[in-house]
Chain A
């Protein structure tokens, strides 16, 4: 694991050469479906006392989400597939090391006029 961690933890180009699913112990699906592309994750600071010591690649994620960050952004910065990051985030969530904020729910049948107006105003200000 340490050799792998070194490879992954190096510069961002090195990460591309690692078969991504080795980071997840071969799992290709997260154990839960909390993590969409725009789900926001935040590292719990300070980490809970009884939390297991994070693996090097987990530490890399935790550093990136010291402030709230969307899963897609996290994956892009780490140069890892979203599906891999989602599985790793599952482990971090289960260890109590991150908090998860789901996207604003959007249902086509019952549009949220207040939300749309906010987006409209925001775009107008650009």
Chain B
């Protein structure tokens, strides 16, 4: 059977899944994507016109800059049949309408928190809670420092039960890998409970 049909493609397309890396502006989302991605993070820019704003806003480059929203992402090949994409969500609140599309079909999310300004990630936590998208919180210690224990951060963020808080360093591959594994473990535990 196999190989008898010459029109069969030599390379079968892999199944794809995605995880979102969210959090406030400048919290280290793209850094995290870059730390675990097998490719240098890629960027695609979407004009806000795609969401129904005036197309004429695209006149001139300066204005174009102001009317696009950038999406950084990376890739992890799990196997020949399965590829995981990591999308860093746009940080600015006004681009949230982009998130709905992004969130559809995501396995789950990592919400990065900067302990120096945790409030910048409140909105992201709220977003995933409301949509019942599973997430873990990664506390990105800048310069690798973690002044507060995970429990204290959990309390201050008023996280729902079952959401893990992990101290991490977005610059470190192993650290980011651990956060992603914690998310998947959480999803597996939830799946077992449900099933």
**Interface residues of A, Cβ cutoff 8 Å to B:** 16-17, 19-21, 26, 28, 36-40, 42, 45, 67-68, 70, 72-73, 75-77, 80-83, 99, 101, 103-106, 108, 110-113, 115-124, 126
* Contact residues in A for B71 (Cβ distance below 8 Å): 37, 72, 82
Of residues B16, B42, B68, B191, which shows the largest number of chain A Cβ atoms within 10 Å of its Cβ? B16
* Contact residues in A for B36 (Cβ distance below 8 Å): 126
Cross-chain contact A103 with B133 (CB below 8 angstroms): no
Cross-chain contact B16 with A116 (CB below 8 angstroms): no
- Name the one of A28, A45, A99 contacting B50, with C-beta atoms under 8 angstroms: A28
Q: How far is the CB of A15 from chain B (nearest CB, A)?
A: 11
**A40 and B13 contact, Cβ closer than 8 Å, known pairs A28-B49, A119-B107, A123-B180:** yes
* Contact residues in B for A75 (Cβ distance below 8 Å): 44
User: Can you show 29 pairs from A to B with CB atoms below 8 A apart?
Assistant: A20-B47, A21-B49, A28-B49, A37-B73, A37-B85, A38-B105, A42-B11, A68-B13, A70-B75, A73-B42, A76-B42, A81-B46, A82-B46, A82-B71, A83-B46, A99-B9, A103-B15, A103-B16, A103-B105, A104-B16, A106-B106, A111-B195, A113-B192, A113-B195, A115-B17, A116-B191, A118-B78, A122-B82, A123-B177
* Contact residues in B for A110 (Cβ distance below 8 Å): 194
Cross-chain contact B61 with A119 (CB below 8 angstroms): no
**A116 and B184 contact, Cβ closer than 8 Å, known pairs A38-B18, A68-B14:** yes
Alpha-carbon separation in the docked complex, A42 to B11 (Å): 9
Cross-chain contact A124 with B181 (CB below 8 angstroms): yes
**Interface residues of B, Cβ cutoff 8 Å to A:** 9, 11-18, 36, 42-47, 49-50, 52, 55, 58-59, 61, 68, 71, 73, 75-79, 82-85, 87, 101-102, 104-107, 132-134, 173, 177, 180-181, 184-185, 187-188, 190-192, 194-195
